[in-house]
């Protein structure tokens, strides 16, 4: 009975990891579509993200089934409850990625990202991939070091986000209001994607250790 | 034993309702602070929202304790699991409200909302209060009619949000890029607040009926 419980818990963990791996793929695709003004890739990314979002129900169902059939307590209960919360973070990462791809789609054939901020958006895209990668690592290893690493990378994202807003607000911005609106929202999507990746790390750590590390306190943005 | 379970479940429902009532108060305060460029009210709203966010741990703890001690199944399990998810929606509503108040605080003594969009932001604020109010109703009655009402009000918010972006992008916008960035983000915060209020309605309905109404399908934004 308990062996089966652990098998099911492992399957649930695999589902979460699979969603996170897909988010890493998708954010790379979305950034490429955005910076390359690539309509076909943007549409493929949107479909791909929708498939990831559709994995939510299966993962939620698996978690609720575990609760119903096995009535876990203590550490095992914590793992299942945290898995339920992780499903939401991972789904949200997909939706935010879809928004980025959709911006590329709506602006096509024009570039949504004007020249002066292309470098910044490129770095935000790379940082987002790094964060999703690190979240996959934490989901696999539950290593506190990996989770701390996630936090450090999120600081990079915050710096880039600040620079991005500063660039839009700088004197020399002559790319118009429409581009300012697009880039403002894009910045928000990347930043929120990063926040959820960090949350995945924090929750995973809590799931396995039961401790909320003070250095990794939950931050809401 | 089961009576105690239901008592605890009622207490948990009360905590969720209390969070939602606070969100309704807070979004009204935040909008007043924003439109009145009222620094003192903005700061009071930020503190008030932080207190609501701090209620999360208590509600989560109550839900996990119910799972651990009572091992509920079927409809009762669904209620506890949904309560856990509702806590996240209600917390997120507080954080978004805090962002709105914080925009007023950062721009003080200037107005964050320029004249041409003041009416729209006023209406978005009123619609957000209506939505939070309706979410409180659904949490109280679990009435499908109330949940449908939430959906209709969310359509109003979507229309207002579209009009807001159109106003920023219109030819005559001469309020500068900084105001465009602020208003873009404010629009996003109100829209997401509304989405979470609708989610509260949908989840509550699912919690009590076990049916996901097709007309009220989960929409991710």
Give the model confidence (pLDDT) of A135-172 as tens digits.
999 999 888 888 888 888 999 999 999 999 999 999 88
The pLDDT of residue B218: 45
* A174 contacts chain B (CB < 8 A): no
The pLDDT of residue B216: 43
- List the single best residue of A180, A186, A199, A207 to mutate versus B (max B Cβ within 10 A): A180
The pLDDT of residue B213: 52
Q: What is the percentage of chain B residues whose pLDDT exceeds 90? A: 78
Are B180 and A185 in contact (CB < 8 Å)? Answer: no
CA distance, residue A188 to nearest chain B CA (Å):
8
A and B: number of Cβ contacts within 8 A: 71
* A54 contacts chain B (CB < 8 A): no
- Whether residue B221 is predicted with pLDDT greater than 90 in this model: the reply is no
Backbone φ, ψ for residue B173 (5° rounding):
-65, 110
* B5 contacts chain A (CB < 8 A): no
CA distance, residue A183 to nearest chain B CA (Å):
9
Q: Which residues of B touch A68 (CB under 8 A)?
A: 73-74, 77
* Rounded Cα distance, B192 and B220, in Å: 10
The H or E element spanning position B124 is: helix B118-141
Closest residue in chain A to residue B173, using alpha carbons only:
A177
- Whether residue B212 is predicted with pLDDT greater than 80 in this model: the reply is no
Residues B221, A95 contacting (CB under 8 angstroms):
yes
CA distance, residue A25 to nearest chain B CA (Å):
20
Name the residue facing B169 among A85, A168, A181 (closest C-beta).
A181
Name the residue facing B181 among A77, A81, A169 (closest C-beta).
A169
Average pLDDT in the B203-217 region?
A: 67
pLDDT tier, B214 (very low <50, low <70, confident <90, very high otherwise) = very low
Name the residue facing A177 among B64, B73, B177 (closest C-beta).
B177
**Residue of B30 and B144 predicted with greater confidence:** B30
* A11 contacts chain B (CB < 8 A): no
Are A88 and B92 in contact (CB < 8 Å)? Answer: no
The pLDDT of residue B135: 96
CA distance, residue B71 to nearest chain A CA (Å):
5
Are A64 and B81 in contact (CB < 8 Å)? Answer: yes
Are B220 and A95 in contact (CB < 8 Å)? Answer: yes
Are A53 and B173 in contact (CB < 8 Å)? Answer: no
- Residues in chain A with pLDDT values less than 50: 214-220
The pLDDT of residue B208: 78
**Residue of B74 and B105 predicted with greater confidence:** B105
Residues B111, B186 contacting (CB under 8 angstroms):
no
Name the residue facing A184 among B67, B84, B184 (closest C-beta).
B184
Q: Which residues of B touch A180 (CB under 8 A)?
A: 177, 180-181, 184
Are B177 and A165 in contact (CB < 8 Å)? Answer: no
Residues B214, B184 contacting (CB under 8 angstroms):
no
- Whether residue B200 is predicted with pLDDT greater than 50 in this model: the reply is yes
Q: What is the percentage of chain B residues whose pLDDT exceeds 70? A: 94
Q: Which residues of A touch B177 (CB under 8 A)?
A: 168-169, 173, 177, 180
CA distance, residue A9 to nearest chain B CA (Å):
17
Are A178 and B169 in contact (CB < 8 Å)? Answer: yes
Per-residue pLDDT tens over the stretch B8-24:
999 999 999 999 999 99
- Whether residue B178 is predicted with pLDDT greater than 60 in this model: the reply is yes
The pLDDT of residue B210: 73
- List the single best residue of A178, A184, A199, A218 to mutate versus B (max B Cβ within 10 A): A184
Closest residue in chain A to residue B171, using alpha carbons only:
A177
DSSP per-residue letters across chain A = -HHHHHHHHHHHHHHHHHHHHHHHHHHHHHHHHHHHT-HHHHHHHHHHHHHHHHHHHHHHHHHHHHHHHH---HHHHHHHHHHHHHHHHHHHHHHHHHHHHHHHHHHTTS-SS-GGGHHHHHHHHHHHHHHHHHHHHHHHH--HHHHHHHHHHHHHHHHHHHHHHHHHHSTT--SHHHHHHHHHHHHHHHHHHHHHHHHHHHHHHHHHH----GGG-----
**Residue of A148 and B111 predicted with greater confidence:** B111
The pLDDT of residue B121: 98
* B91 contacts chain A (CB < 8 A): yes
Q: Tokens 């509304």 — which residue? A: B194
* B166 contacts chain A (CB < 8 A): no
Best-predicted range by mean pLDDT among A148-157, B102-111, B210-219?
B102-111
């Amino acid at each position: 009975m308990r062996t089966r419980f652990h098998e099911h818990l492992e399957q649930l963990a695999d589902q979460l990891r699979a969603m996170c791996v897909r988010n890493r793929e998708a954010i790379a695709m979305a950034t490429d579509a955005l910076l390359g003004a690539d309509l076909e890739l943007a549409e493929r990314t949107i479909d791909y993200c929708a498939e990831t979002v559709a994995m939510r129900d299966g993962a939620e169902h698996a978690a609720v089934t575990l609760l119903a059939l096995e009535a876990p307590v203590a550490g095992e209960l914590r793992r299942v409850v945290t898995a339920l919360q992780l499903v939401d973070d991972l789904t949200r990462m997909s939706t935010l990625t879809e928004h980025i791809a959709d911006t590329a789609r709506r602006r096509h054939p024009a570039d949504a990202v004007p020249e002066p901020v292309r470098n910044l958006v490129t770095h935000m895209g790379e940082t987002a991939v790094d964060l999703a990668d690190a979240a996959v690592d934490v989901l696999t290893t539950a290593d506190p070091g990996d989770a701390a690493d996630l936090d450090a990378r999120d600081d990079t994202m915050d710096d880039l986000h600040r620079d991005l807003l500063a660039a839009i607000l700088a004197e020399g911005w002559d790319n118009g209001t429409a581009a300012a609106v697009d880039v403002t929202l894009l910045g928000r999507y990347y930043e929120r994607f990063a926040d959820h990746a960090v949350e995945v790390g924090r929750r995973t750590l809590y799931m396995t250790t039961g401790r909320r590390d003070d250095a990794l306190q939950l931050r809401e943005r």
